[in-house]
Structure 1
């Protein structure tokens, strides 16, 4: 069969589809759809209002990854609203940990935690049990993560494993360790994944693998914990990279070091395909993208707070970022169910290749 026939059939499918849409969208149909949309909006607002908000002042919440970014901002936000915060940090003597200790409050506890280390998780659990002996542990926010950029072929296996040990297995270790305490309070687990947990992008294989894994792990944990009254929510931030450690000044410097490691370990055959300029081009795009980030972390922090303290939290919070009219990744996730795989891949390629 010739390609002319294939293209002709393709055009025919598009044409018939457009005709079907034209005839289906009559005025009564549009009115019904608009009414349905308004009813659903009213229903969700009424449901959330009826569920109310739980008090914060008698709750203790543990947050991972509070050195910088979302974790650091969330620790301060919850503390200011009366919550007892256990802020865990990877660098106990770093600037982020010091700033949190400088709050000098009985409701702010700073503990070291390397989520990729079994011993570190066990030691943190021991401290938390002592802190929560009377109040119990209400929530765990799995926020610790490692952003990563790199081609499938250039990313080293050490880098793949490093990202996975933090982003997905760190989440698993922390959740498993603290579940007994959360069952006692019928509390909350909030897992910060990424909008990239629903959309695959070039140069993000090592990172996206872990974020898709975080989505699946969260959904299964939610179903298994329902019988114990423990609720699990997923937070999917869009483009906030410029105000986190992902692609700020320090993040960009780290990415450069990771690119140097990739190039040093690349085989001669791979170096013939990817020139050293390939990394420079990616860095230019990352630096430009940093300027398109949302200017604050407030939308993400508020979404996490809602997941922790709403009487009826959502299963999934897509949090639009970017300082542009549209945040591309959340937009793509929302249209994906209505597009074929080929068309969706073409759309992603248009934006990112």
Structure 2
């Protein structure tokens, strides 16, 4: 018994010593926190007409960065507002991420107007969101979603990587919890974001050799904080369906599903501060995270565990929702 007690004491001492050494090393080797200002560096942000891109562009401009703000509509109200509220260090670029020509022209302008320290970061923020059950969607719906959310990021990243690599800077990608959280109505969006994260993960491994950091932002429900969520009525959905699908998905169920989705959007975060702070950290921190999961404190544990749970368990989670129960009853009643 004394022998066992002695071993336990030794293990305890070693454990405490290891913890103390770890904390001491963190204190001694603590890297600089964040860039105090961005003087001499440039950042390119896509999707600055509104939402997170718009807010981030203003924040980085205030920190002294030269900001190239990519806008789909450079003459639109969002771009004009951004320009009027910013310093002369911010430049609006016409940038449709689905256009090879737009990306080529944007790169030319960036190269011709780089500050002395070069292009520090590219923030791939441009994206769209829509919701629909897979059988309500067309192949064109999937093409459009993927072309903007996935191929748009790839197109922009490949073009600007040489400039970011030269500064050993940052590549930041706007993803979503729907990249791993598979649920009703988000099929096309999930496909685009899961593909985006696969690209960013592969890029992170490759860029590590060059000192470039790659970060993925995973917001939860920020529908109220941006205008990314497409608003539509049950009638809009119903009119799009052919006769066969109208037989399967009755109008009453579609009305219920639409009301449920809209109420869910209204229950999320009302401002985007959490996301903007994460994006700023990814751009300016000495040690940016690979992923920033941005959900409520109550939801954090669930979403942290979700990707590691068996599929049978993750699928069963949805049976707890009253909406899924009603869906099964209404669609099987026919």
Q: Please indicate, yes or no, whether the TM-score normalized by the shorter chain is above 0.5.
A: yes
Question: Take 2:79 and 2:97, find their aligned partners in 1: how far apart are those partners?
Answer: 16
Give the deviation of 1:335 after TM superposition: 2.1
Question: Take 1:196 and 1:40, find their aligned partners in 2: how far apart are those partners?
Answer: 39
1:326 and 2:298 aligned? yes
Matches within 5 A, 1:190-339: 190-247=172-229, 251-252=230-231, 255-256=232-233, 260=236, 263-321=238-296, 326-327=298-299, 330-336=300-306, 339=309
Question: Take 1:44 and 1:297, find their aligned partners in 2: how far apart are those partners?
Answer: 35
* Aligned mate of 2:35, from 54, 71, 75: 54
Q: Is contact 1:48–1:311 with CA below 8 Å preserved after alignment?
A: no
Q: 1:46 to 1:90 in 2, by over 3 A?
A: farther
TM normalised by structure 2 equals 0.84
Counterpart of 1:346? 316
- Unmatched runs of 5 consecutive residues or more in structure 2: 1-8, 325-334
TM normalised by structure 1 equals 0.80
Question: Take 2:21 and 2:233, find their aligned partners in 1: how far apart are those partners?
Answer: 47
Q: Is contact 2:40–2:116 with CA below 8 Å preserved after alignment?
A: no
Give the deviation of 1:345 after TM superposition: 1.1
Question: Take 1:297 and 1:125, find their aligned partners in 2: how far apart are those partners?
Answer: 28
Question: Take 2:135 and 2:188, find their aligned partners in 1: how far apart are those partners?
Answer: 11
- Unmatched runs of 5 consecutive residues or more in structure 1: 1-27
Question: Take 2:314 and 2:175, find their aligned partners in 1: how far apart are those partners?
Answer: 22
1:140 and 2:112 aligned? no
Question: Take 2:54 and 2:144, find their aligned partners in 1: how far apart are those partners?
Answer: 22
1:154 and 2:136 aligned? yes
Aligned length: 310
SS in 1 for 2:118: coil
RMSD across aligned C-alpha pairs, in angstroms? Answer: 2.9
Give the deviation of 1:340 after TM superposition: 2.5
